[in-house]
């Protein structure tokens, strides 16, 4: 019997498989020995005919102990129908750290797609009145049972220490050779000394009372990861519109007074800073979805769409946990509903092999304490959140409660939980005018730009010209990654911006 046409759901399986297949293929092409660890990977695990054919060649050559390299692949398929596909594969970036998870996700999609085809054929049988109803029900039940067995058999649920050890050794060797710490670093030296980095599959909670700067702190981490580690991040901003979030980033990067950006009344020197800041900010691989009250299922769908379009995702930032849509099945039980969303975010982290950074509110109860530094029990609906999180960090600024404190302009990042390490507190600088946190260096604050107060001929006119350049509306000024103004050259940020 010929296969039924794919339904919209079936097509979705194929689209979701594309980035996974490409990532797996380029990784095994670069390191064919990985095939020994990939749980019996076979051509049937790929949905794309091109992917099936290309993997079949890689696997055949490897099993025959012949050479398999990108150069050999280019030569082999030059001039063939498969050449455009292979050339596209070679532009992908190998993801050794994610290949096992990608293979499992890919296999699951393949089984789901084949199961759907079987059900579509069953639907055709149901429409055929000549087949007894009892026989039709029995056939469908048998097909569903086989699909379930196939899905369980395709997904390996346990690994030997030998397999785990090989993967760990490869990652450890890469860490030594490259001298880089895997995962996402905060960019704040004092904090990274405590937490080292945030790893794929981690659920990271950043919490604080209102006005402490938890959104700014989380975005500073995202900005550093995007600029200095080449990470790709997706921000679910359910409280703040995307343009306001972008404006905050511009303010922090250029150290431009946030109030002046809101009013459009830039002062001396700020126009030039704005041009330099925009040239950097617009190059960040950060994306924002500002739809309100998203459910975990909606987030998952958006993430699938994002990966399909962009091919890479290293972390998501959720602002904030209590604004996510709550499942009605929990009724008025807020703690249970938020707890379910917390667990769902952890599932997203593991499913996509990404870090999930989620902001959370704190209970008002801490306001009654003499020492208002937060602790884990202050998390709203704290039981589930505390249990699910790999890392919990609290943002505390004493000046919010005590305006005359000696720690004015100082923030404390309190590590309240860390599964992989110790607890502790890191002190950072807080630059409220620019909505940014910064490193403290020898008692002073290190920022992004250290520029004299350049006097512009006419700040308002230059602001308008700059805006015209950005919008393409009317005469403007040229904006480059390095622009020269009155003897001052603006260049890319130094290696430690925050």
Count the alpha carbons within 13 Å of 223 in the hemisphere toward its beta carbon.
Answer: 28
Provide CATH code, domain 8-154: 1.10.860.10
Query: How far is Cα 264 from Cα 464, in angstroms, rounded to an integer?
Result: 9
Both tokens of 81, joined, read: 């129908």
Boundaries of every domain in the chain = 8-154, 189-445
Whole-prediction pTM:
0.61
Do the beta carbons of residue 122 and residue 143 sit within 8 Å?
yes
**pLDDT score at 400:** 92
Query: How far is Cα 69 from Cα 75, in angstroms, rounded to an integer?
Result: 10
Of 445, 441, 443, 442, which is closest to residue 431 (Cα–Cα)?
A: 445
Query: How far is Cα 395 from Cα 320, in angstroms, rounded to an integer?
Result: 14
The residue whose two tokens read 């952890």 is 346
**pLDDT score at 490:** 30
Query: How far is Cα 428 from Cα 238, in angstroms, rounded to an integer?
Result: 27
Provide CATH code, domain 189-445: 3.40.50.300
- In b/e form, how buried is each residue of 304-334, taking b as 16+ CB within 10 angstroms? bebbeeebbbbbbbbbbbbbbbbeeeeeeee
**pLDDT score at 51:** 87
Both tokens of 333, joined, read: 């039980």
Query: Based on the number of CB atoms within 10 Å of its own CB, is 468 exposed (0-12), middle (13-18) or buried (19 or more)?
Result: middle
Query: How far is Cα 297 from Cα 228, in angstroms, rounded to an integer?
Result: 31
Both tokens of 319, joined, read: 């602002």
**pLDDT score at 190:** 93
Q: Are strands 233-237 and 315-319 parallel, antiparallel or unpaired?
A: parallel
Query: How far is Cα 312 from Cα 303, in angstroms, rounded to an integer?
Result: 10
**pLDDT score at 108:** 74
- φ, ψ (nearest 5 deg) of residue 204: -110, 125
- The string of pLDDT tens digits covering residues 321-331 is 888 888 777 77
Check for a shared fold between 8-154 and 189-445. Answer: no
The residue whose two tokens read 């900005």 is 223
The residue whose two tokens read 């805006």 is 467
Other CB atoms within a 10 A radius of the CB of residue 354 amount to 27
Of 246, 182, 186, which is closest to residue 496 (Cα–Cα)?
A: 186
**pLDDT score at 182:** 81
Q: Which parts of the chain have pLDDT scores under 50?
A: 1-7, 9, 443-457, 475-498
């Amino acid at each position: 019997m010929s296969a039924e046409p794919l339904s919209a759901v079936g097509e979705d399986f194929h689209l979701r498989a594309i980035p996974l297949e490409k990532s797996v293929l380029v990784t095994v092409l670069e390191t064919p020995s990985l095939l020994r660890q990939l749980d019996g990977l076979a051509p049937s695990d790929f949905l794309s005919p091109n992917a099936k054919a290309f993997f079949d060649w890689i696997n055949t050559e490897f099993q025959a102990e012949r050479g398999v390299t990108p150069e050999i692949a280019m030569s082999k398929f030059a001039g063939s129908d498969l050449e455009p596909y292979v050339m596209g594969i070679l532009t992908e970036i190998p993801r050794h750290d994610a290949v096992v998870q990608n293979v499992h996700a890919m296999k699951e999609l393949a089984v789901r797609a084949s199961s759907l085809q079987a059900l579509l054929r069953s639907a055709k049988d149901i429409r055929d009145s000549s087949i007894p109803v009892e026989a039709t029900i029995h056939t469908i039940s048998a097909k569903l049972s086989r699909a379930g067995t196939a899905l369980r058999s395709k997904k390996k649920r346990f690994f030997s220490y030998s397999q785990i050890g090989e993967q760990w050794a490869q990652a450890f060797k890469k860490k030594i050779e490259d001298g880089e710490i895997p995962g996402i670093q905060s960019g704040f030296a004092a904090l990274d000394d405590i937490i080292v980095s945030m790893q794929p599959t981690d659920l990271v909670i950043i919490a604080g009372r209102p006005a402490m700067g938890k959104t700014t702190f989380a975005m500073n981490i995202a900005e550093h990861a995007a600029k200095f580690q080449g990470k790709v991040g997706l921000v679910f901003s359910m409280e703040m519109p995307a343009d306001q979030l972008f404006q905050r980033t511009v303010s922090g990067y250029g150290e431009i007074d946030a109030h002046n950006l809101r009013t459009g009344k830039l002062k001396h020197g700020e126009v030039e800073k704005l041009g330099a800041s925009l040239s950097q900010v617009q190059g960040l691989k950060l994306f924002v979805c500002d739809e309100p009250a998203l459910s975990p299922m909606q987030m998952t769908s958006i993430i699938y769409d994002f990966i399909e379009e962009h091919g890479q995702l290293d972390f998501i930032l959720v602002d904030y946990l209590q604004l996510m849509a709550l499942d009605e099945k929990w009724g008025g039980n807020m703690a249970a509903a938020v707890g379910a969303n917390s667990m769902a975010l952890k599932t997203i982290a593991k499913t996509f092999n990404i870090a999930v950074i989620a902001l959370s509110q704190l209970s008002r109860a801490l306001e009654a304490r003499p020492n208002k530094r937060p602790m884990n029990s202050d998390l709203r609906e704290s039981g589930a959140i505390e249990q699910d999180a790999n890392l919990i960090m609290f943002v505390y600024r004493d000046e919010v409660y005590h305006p005359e404190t000696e720690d004015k302009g100082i923030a404390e990042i309190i590590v309240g939980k860390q599964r992989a390490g110790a607890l502790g507190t890191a002190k950072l600088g807080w630059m409220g005018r620019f909505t940014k946190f910064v490193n403290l260096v020898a008692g002073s604050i290190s920022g992004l730009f250290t520029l004299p107060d350049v006097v512009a001929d006419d700040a308002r006119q230059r602001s308008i010209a700059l805006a015209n350049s950005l919008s393409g509306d009317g005469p403007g000024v040229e904006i480059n990654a390095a622009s020269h103004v009155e003897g001052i050259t603006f260049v890319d940020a130094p290696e430690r911006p925050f």
